Amino acid sequence: MKTVLITGACINTGVAIVEKFAAAGYGIVFTGRAVEKVKAKEKEYQAKFPNVPVTGYALDSLLDERTVDEAAVFMLFADLDAKGIFVETLVLNAADQGLGQRVFENPLTDLMKVINTNVVWNYCLCEHAAKRMKENGGGNIVFINSNTAYRAIPDRIAYEASKGGQLGLMRGLALDLGKYNIRVNAVLPGMIKTDRWEKNPEFYANVPSRFTPLGDVAVGEDVADAVYYFAAMARNTTGAELVVDGGNTIQLYPVLPENK
């Protein structure tokens, strides 16, 4: 049985990714930050997928804004080693969304926090996972990136920089790890229907219809399908990007409603 490790999988998109891989018979390792939330979600997944092993870990990326908790990543993989669990697929889904960071207003540490989680911590997870993949003859890594790596939205500079940085990380790792039969790819969602979108009905009612050729946002399952493609099917693909955004990235200007 193959095992996948999915970060940030107590809520939203991470849950859909867990469910996709569990339904396909993968053993599941997942993370969230709060111990109680992780324990509750672990029980829920175990009840829903009684035939696959599910293990949750509480893991925060940072000790403080400036410092990645490298020791926690070391301990996570040491614990997996002790349990005899080899992570064949690593899915880097957790992200600091860096919402509402305004130029001239936010301190530099707010930017550091986002870059540290989305780039530096993810690199740390990749390094520990890839070491085991190399020893086991291969594996693969999938980043949940964003089309904001290419196109900006307001008040999200740190997030956009982090997602751009993540693509550089993805390509560098793909090049350096290919010789160990480790593939590294990225899924680039645009807008995903999460609890955040539902709290913002005005935006949801107007933006997707005008800014995506398909007129709708992705659901978690759309992202999970793309992750699964890279992990389980794309034998000859590495360093690739798969955009799942209803066509949002290729549309130059908003399509206004027709006068009736």
Ligand X SMILES: NC(=O)c1ccc[n+]([C@@H]2O[C@H](COP(=O)([O-])OP(=O)(O)OC[C@H]3O[C@@H](n4cnc5c(N)ncnc54)[C@H](OP(=O)(O)O)[C@@H]3O)[C@@H](O)[C@H]2O)c1
| Catalytically active residues, by annotation | 159
**Among the listed residues 3, 55, 61, 212, the single contact to ligand X using CB under 6 A:** 61
Q: Tell me the closest approach of the beta carbon of residue 104 to ligand X, in angstroms.
A: 24
Residue 98 lies near ligand X (rule: CB under 6 A): no
Angle at 193 between CA 190 and CA 195, to 5 degrees: 130
Residue 249 lies near ligand X (rule: CB under 6 A): no
Structure tokens at 119: 């780039």
Residue 182 lies near ligand X (rule: CB under 6 A): no
> Smaller CB distance to ligand X: residue 8 or 139?
8
**Among the listed residues 46, 97, 106, 181, the single contact to ligand X using CB under 6 A:** 97
Angle at 154 between CA 66 and CA 217, to 5 degrees: 105
**Among the listed residues 33, 39, 83, 151, the single contact to ligand X using CB under 6 A:** 33
For strands 54-58 and 62-64, give the pairing.
unpaired
Residue 208 lies near ligand X (rule: CB under 6 A): no
Helix H or strand E segment including 175: helix 157-177
**Among the listed residues 14, 56, 139, 208, the single contact to ligand X using CB under 6 A:** 14
Helix axes 35-48, 12-23, angle to 10 degrees: 30
**Among the listed residues 139, 189, 208, 246, the single contact to ligand X using CB under 6 A:** 189
Helix axes 220-228, 12-23, angle to 10 degrees: 50
- How many CB atoms sit inside 10 A of residue 81's CB? 11
> Smaller CB distance to ligand X: residue 25 or 214?
214
**Among the listed residues 40, 62, 232, 240, the single contact to ligand X using CB under 6 A:** 62
Near ligand X in 65-94, by CB under 6 A: 93-94
Pick from 141, 32, 126, 149: nearest CA to 77:
126
d(CA 173, CA 168) in angstroms, rounded, equals 9
> Smaller CB distance to ligand X: residue 3 or 31?
31
* Count of residues near ligand X by CB under 6 A: 25
For strands 62-64 and 67-68, give the pairing.
antiparallel
Bridge partners for 91 per DSSP: 6, 142
Residue 122 lies near ligand X (rule: CB under 6 A): no
Residue 12 lies near ligand X (rule: CB under 6 A): yes
Residue 144 lies near ligand X (rule: CB under 6 A): yes
Compute the CA torsion angle 143, 106, 112, 184 (nearest 10 deg): 10
**Among the listed residues 80, 149, 184, 192, the single contact to ligand X using CB under 6 A:** 192
Residues near ligand X (CB under 6 A): 8, 10-14, 32-34, 59-62, 93-97, 117, 144, 146, 189, 191-192, 194
